Amino acid sequence: MSTNGVRNGTPVGNEPLCKTCRWGHIIKGFAQSEERTMCQFRAWDNGGRPIPFPIFECSEYDDKRRPSLNSMEKIAWILVTKTAGRQIGFVSAKEFRKIEAEDAEITP
């Protein structure tokens, strides 16, 4: 006896991406059926897009459980190699500004 698999079927037991997405805005009521999901990606357009069904895959997904690029840049160390005679090595952003003056630009 052979069994046939189902291709592109509905995944069972997975949470929708919107629950862990930085752009997802989920409103829940008291009943299990009372739940509304909005996508806040580019929210300046119209205040968010309503999502009518659970999302399995999204091109704009940004996992809110991981630090954002902006927050990683704030805590990043900078490798200083600019001036001859100065010791090469990592410095914090605060130390870099002290060395290079307050108008020093930090580029990613």
Contact criterion met (CB below 8 Å) for 58 and 21: yes
pLDDT recorded at residue 55: 87
Per the model's pLDDT, the better-predicted residue between 77 and 34 turns out to be: 34
Query: How far apart (Å, rounded) are the C-alpha atoms in residues 16 and 57?
Result: 9
- Kindly report, residue by residue over 14-34, the tens digit of the pLDDT: 788 899 999 898 899 998 888
| Domain locations along the chain | 14-66, 69-100
Query: How far apart (Å, rounded) are the C-alpha atoms in residues 26 and 50?
Result: 10
- Reported residue count of the chain is 108
For CA atoms 50, 54, 59, 60, give the dihedral sign: positive
Name the residue among 16, 27, 26, 22 with its Cα closest to residue 42. Answer: 22
DSSP β-bridge partners for residue 38: 25, 50
Query: How far apart (Å, rounded) are the C-alpha atoms in residues 89 and 60?
Result: 36
**Helix (H/G/I), strand (E/B), else coil: 20:** helix
pLDDT recorded at residue 33: 84
